[in-house]
């Protein structure tokens, strides 16, 4: 049975639903070109700030048998580098540009600059960016998120998306979904960013695995799969007019299938891609196609969002 992994959404065509999560294989031109030249269905850039950043001191990323922890501190080449890349890109596959301003003004400045370039790429605004001192990250401050989204829509008339951190309470899912639903040009949400502020310890040396923030860092990989699936499922249910992009814990065709079953339009690879390199795309596509064939599905639409529950 021929399985078709292609998809169309927001006027974009993708041969496969898999692409890189922001921050992995996408900081430099060489890395972005490697994703573009791989079996990935699209390309995502590293979250950029107005000015280039070195990021936090090393070690700042570590992988374990169950996933990863990182506190990178947004090392990136500055927005102009990624916008230049977007201008030179051949658009044989879709390109997404991740934006993570240190302030609302920075985000508005970058969105206005992107708007003026009139490129076919789409922005994914990373809402896990700093808010005011003493306040949580932007996406955990609902009033500030509402203000920021209203301002984004004023400056940027085209379709755009946001990258969300995980939420853990049904009230928060409902409040955030209601808020996001108010903005028509917000067309997609990517769930989830790392599960924030975990702590992994090396038992033998009794030391944290990473250096920044006393060892606290964002978790990815197996650690976060159930949280990612719940966020994809709930936001897909609560925002039927928007696309949800699944990210978190995908390392084989099985997890990619589960994300799509929860309603994901497409899915992103973080930790797995960091550990395995771009060969992960072709491998996971093969595994997803085999799984679909074994289940009698020929297209992603055959099972997208069709998760069964007991009630
Ligand atoms: C090294 C590293 C850097 C990351 N940098 C970013 C980033 O710049 N912007 C962003 O939105 N997410 C960033 N993330 C989070 C990932 O995009 C992803 O949401 C998270 O790792 C969960 O996916 P995973 O379980 O496949 O790793 C980063 C993750 C890692 C491991």
Q: Where are the domains of the chain?
A: 7-302
The predicted structure's pLDDT at residue 48 = 98
Is 249 close to ligand 1, i.e. is its CB under 6 Å away?
yes
The verdict on domain 7-302 having CATH code 3.30.379.10 is no
The predicted structure's pLDDT at residue 231 = 98
Q: For ligand 1, what atom is nearest to the CA of residue 251?
A: 26
Q: For ligand 1, what atom is nearest to the CA of residue 250?
A: 26
The predicted structure's pLDDT at residue 135 = 84
Whose C-alpha lies nearest to ligand 1, atom 29?
23
Q: What is the pTM of this model?
A: 0.98
The predicted structure's pLDDT at residue 201 = 98
**How many CB atoms lie under 10 A from the CB of residue 178?**
12
Is 224 close to ligand 1, i.e. is its CB under 6 Å away?
yes
Ligand 1 centroid to residue 209 C-alpha, Å:
17
Whose C-alpha lies nearest to ligand 1, atom 23?
248
Cβ burial, residue 213 (10 Å; 0-12/13-18/19+):
middle
Whose C-alpha lies nearest to ligand 1, atom 14?
23
The predicted structure's pLDDT at residue 56 = 96
**DSSP tag of 13:** E
> Which residues neighbour 226 within 8 Å (Cβ) at sequence distance 6 or greater?
249
Ligand 1 centroid to residue 298 C-alpha, Å:
30
Cα 255 vs. chain centroid, distance in angstroms? 15
Whose C-alpha lies nearest to ligand 1, atom 20?
194
Q: Each residue's pLDDT tens digit in the chain (311 positions)? A: 799 999 999 999 999 999 999 999 999 999 999 999 999 999 999 999 999 999 999 999 999 999 999 999 999 999 999 999 999 999 999 999 999 999 999 999 999 999 999 999 999 999 998 777 788 999 999 999 999 999 999 999 999 999 999 999 999 999 999 999 999 999 999 999 999 999 999 999 999 999 999 999 999 999 999 999 999 999 999 999 999 999 999 999 999 999 999 999 999 999 999 999 999 999 999 999 999 999 999 999 999 999 999 98
Could you please report the per-residue DSSP string of the chain? ---B--EEETTEEESSSEEEPTTSS-SSHHHHHHHHTSS-SBEEPPPB-SS-B--SPSP-EEEETTEEEE-----B--HHHHHHHHHH---SS-EEEEE--SSHHHHHHHHHHHHHHT-S-EEEEE--S--STTS--GGG-HHHHHHHHHHHHHH--S-EEEEE----SHHHHHHHHHHHHT-TTEEEEEE---EEEEE-EETTTTEESS-GGGGEEEEEEGGGHHHHHHHHHHHHHH-TTSEEEEESS--SHHHHHHHHHTT-SEEEESHHHHHH-THHHHHHHHHHHHHHHHHT--BGGGTTT------
């Amino acid at each position: 049975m021929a399985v078709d992994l292609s998809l169309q959404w927001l006027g974009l065509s993708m041969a496969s639903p898999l692409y890189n999560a922001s921050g992995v294989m996408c900081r430099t031109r060489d890395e972005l070109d490697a994703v573009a030249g791989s079996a990935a269905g699209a390309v995502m850039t590293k979250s950029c700030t107005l000015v280039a950043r070195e990021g936090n001191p090393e070690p700042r990323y570590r992988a374990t048998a169950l996933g990863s922890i990182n506190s990178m501190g947004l090392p990136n080449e500055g927005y102009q580098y990624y916008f230049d890349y977007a201008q030179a890109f051949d658009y044989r596959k879709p390109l997404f540009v991740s934006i993570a301003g240190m302030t609302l003004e920075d985000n508005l400045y970058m969105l206005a600059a992107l708007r003026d370039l009139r490129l076919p790429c789409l922005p994914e605004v990373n809402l896990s960016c700093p808010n005011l001192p003493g306040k949580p990250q932007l996406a955990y401050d609902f009033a500030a998120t509402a203000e920021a989204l209203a301002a984004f829509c004023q400056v940027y008339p085209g379709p755009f998306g946001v990258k969300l951190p995980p939420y853990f309470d049904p009230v928060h899912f409902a409040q955030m979904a209601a808020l996001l639903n108010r903005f028509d040009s917000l067309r997609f949400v990517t769930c989830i960013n790392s599960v924030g502020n975990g702590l992994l310890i090396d038992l033998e040396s009794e030391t944290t695995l990473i250096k920044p923030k006393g060892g606290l860092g964002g978790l990815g990989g197996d650690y976060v799969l159930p949280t990612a699936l719940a966020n994809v499922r709930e936001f897909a249910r609560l925002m039927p007019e928007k696309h949800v992009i699944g990210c978190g814990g995908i390392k084989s065709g099985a997890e990619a299938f589960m994300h799509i079953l929860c309603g994901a339009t497409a899915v992103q690879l973080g930790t797995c891609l960091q550990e395995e390199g771009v060969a992960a795309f072709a491998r996971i596509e093969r595994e997803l196609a085999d799984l679909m064939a074994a289940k009698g599905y020929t297209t992603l639409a055959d099972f997208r969002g069709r998760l069964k529950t007991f009630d």
